[in-house]
Amino acid sequence: MAQKADAVFEGGGVKGIGLVGAISEIEKAGYVLENLSGTSAGAIVASLLAVGYSSAELKKELEQLNYNDFKDEGLLDKLGFLGKSLSIGFEYGIYEGEFFENWLEGLLVAKGKTTFGDITTGYKEEQYKYKFQAIAADITDRRLLVLPGDLRLFGLEPDEFSISRAVRMSMSIPFFFEPVELRDTSGRKHFIVDGGLLSNYPIWLLDDGTGDPPWPTFGFKLMEPDKRELKQAKRNPINNPISFLKAIVGTMLDAHDSYHISKSKGDYDRTVGIPTVITVNGVEKEIGTTDFNITQEESQALYENGVKVAKKFLETWDFDEWKKKYRQKKKAS
């Protein structure tokens, strides 16, 4: 018998295929995903699951993807270092983001669901009105945005808004991709960027920790090594202002770790932590958010990391026991 579950996916750039590996085991265990949310790469995975893709279909699509294609350059960017510097100065980002949005839109069209109105649930609660929600950051107002609901702040109708556009906002890594511009009802321009700057793991969105949920909310998190050591050498040498900015952004987006999980709400116990360290041909490597040159072998290793930890998680997961421990009030003796 199918069991319902909500799912929240952490952002992580090119590491997103690890999330797909974990979901493949959740599906095998008989869970049907009811409500989904995510940030950046997590929003990509969540949006595609929400419109009907299976983990097997997602794996196939990601295996065919060359992440370097996401680095779509405009005219300025093609002028080398000077052009990229001017692109950041004038457009606030090196890459256009159009290839990504078109790629995602094509996948959504294939399922016949392209706007948020296509994925309404029938639930009355605002947080469950749409099967998928994404996190983005409005750096103009220093505000976290939950999309599509917060589009009303800009006078936009959520039902009519493009899912691929919302995900494009959520994955707009600062300096790498040009921010998405929106104007509010007064005409003021807002710049929208990667939601990972404010909430890379929005498990709070579908379950705030105060209720007695009828089904579990699983979190899928891309975990750095438990014990980090000082690195003897930098994988991405900083030798010019562009590489310096990339290093800053990569550090910001990779800085979210297990200490951000609330043990008091039982978040740790319901989180599938997917290691981002892989071993290929006997060589151990940690995959970073912006490692666009990731190979198929490395992607496969990340996928297998997700499969392994999800299997282990499911061996001990007991929703009733989790609720007794974290949600149900103890009876007075």
Which residues are known to be catalytic? 40, 194
Q: Which of 291, 220, 285 is nearest to 253 (CA)?
A: 291
Give the whole-angstrom CA distance, residue 231 versus residue 195. 28
Token pair for residue 247? 């290093």
In the three-class reduction of DSSP (H, G, I as helix; E, B as strand; rest coil), residue 183 is classed as: strand
**CA quadruple 200, 206, 212, 217: dihedral positive or negative?**
negative
- The residue among 272, 268, 260 whose CA lies nearest residue 326 is 268
Q: Give the DSSP letter string of 72-94.
A: -B-TTGGGHHHHHHHHHHHHSEE
Give the DSSP H or E segment for 300. helix 296-316
Nearest in space to 150 (alpha carbons), one of 110, 205, 95: 205
Residue among 312, 220, 223 at smallest CA distance from 272:
220
> Would you say 309 and 22 are in contact if contact means Cβ atoms under 8 Å apart?
yes
Task: Provide the β-strand partners of residue 275.
Answer: 223
Q: List the one residue out of 219, 217, 169 whose CA is nearest residue 197.
A: 169
Distance CA 235, CA 276 (A): 15
Given a contact cutoff of 8 angstroms between Cβ atoms, the answer to whether 67 and 236 are in contact is no
Quick check: helix, strand or coil at residue 284?
A: strand
In the numeric block, the tokens 């043990």 are attached to: 263
Nearest to 171 by CA among 118, 223, 135: 135
